C-alpha cells in the first residue's frame, strides 16, 4: 500500500514538474499577436458603451448639450485612434 502511494506521489510530482517546465523548452518566446488585438478590441467596446451611456444621459436631461457634444467628440476620437491601431496590428 505504501509503495503504491509513494509511486503515485512521485508520478504526481513528476507530472507537475513536466507541466510547469515543458513550455520553457518549446513554444513561442514572443507574445502572440492576437493577445494585443484582444486588448484593443476590449478598449473599443468600453468606449462604445461609454458613448451609449452618454447618449442615454443626454436624452433624459442629465447632461447639457454642450457637455454632450464635447464628451462624445473626445470618446469618438479615442475610438478612431484604437481603430487605427487595430488596423496596424492586423
Partner 1 sequence: MTPVLGSISLSLGLGLAAISIFLFSVFLQKADYRFFVGGWRAAVLVSALSILATFLLLNELLASNFDIRYVAHYTSLETPTIYKVTALWAGQSGSLLFWLFILSVYTLIVLFKYRNSYTALMPWVIIVLVIVQAFFLILVNFVENPFSPTVADFVVANGNGLNPLLQNLTMAIHPPTLYLGYVGFTIPFAFAIAALITKDTGSVWIRSIRRWTLIAWLFQSAGVILGGWWAYQELGWGGYWAWDPVENASFMPWLTGTAFLHSIIIQEKKGMLKTWNMILILLTFTLCIFGTFLTRSGVMSSVHSFAVSDLGPVFLGFIVLILVVCISLILVRLPILKSEKRIESFTSRESGFLFNNVIFIVICFAVFWGTIFPVLSEAVRGEKITVGAPFFNQVNVPIGLLLLLFTGIGPLLAWRRTSNQAFVRNFTLPILTGLIVFIACFILGIRNTTLVSFPLVGFVLTAILTEFQRGIRSRTSRFNESIFVALKTLISKNRSRYGGYIVHLGIVFMFIGFSGNAFDSELEFALKKGEVKEFDGYNFELVSIQTVERPNHMAWIAALNVWNIQHQLVTRLFPEKRVYFHRDPNPDKRQPHSELDIHTTLNKDIYSIFSGIDTDQQIAYLKIMINPLVWWVWFGGYVLVFGTMISLWPAKD
For residues 37 and 87, give the distance between their C-alpha atoms in angstroms, rounded to a whole number: 10
- Nearest approach in angstroms of CB 90 to partner 1 is 16
Between CA 19 and CA 38 the distance in angstroms is 26
Kindly list the residues in this chain that would bind partner 1 in the complex (CB under 8 A). Answer: 1, 5, 9, 13, 16, 19-21, 23-32, 34-36, 38-39, 42-43, 45-46, 49-50, 53-54, 56-57, 59-64, 67, 71
- State the minimum distance, in angstroms, from the CB of residue 6 to partner 1: 10
Amino acid at each position: 500500500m505504501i509503495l503504491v502511494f509513494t509511486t503515485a506521489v512521485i508520478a504526481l510530482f513528476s507530472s507537475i514538474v513536466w507541466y510547469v517546465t515543458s513550455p520553457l523548452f518549446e513554444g513561442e518566446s514572443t507574445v502572440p499577436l492576437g493577445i494585443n488585438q484582444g486588448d484593443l478590441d476590449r478598449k473599443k467596446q468600453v468606449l462604445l458603451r461609454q458613448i451609449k451611456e452618454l447618449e442615454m444621459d443626454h436624452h433624459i436631461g442629465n447632461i447639457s448639450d454642450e457637455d454632450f457634444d464635447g464628451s462624445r467628440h473626445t470618446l469618438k476620437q479615442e475610438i478612431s485612434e484604437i481603430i487605427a491601431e487595430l488596423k496596424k496590428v492586423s
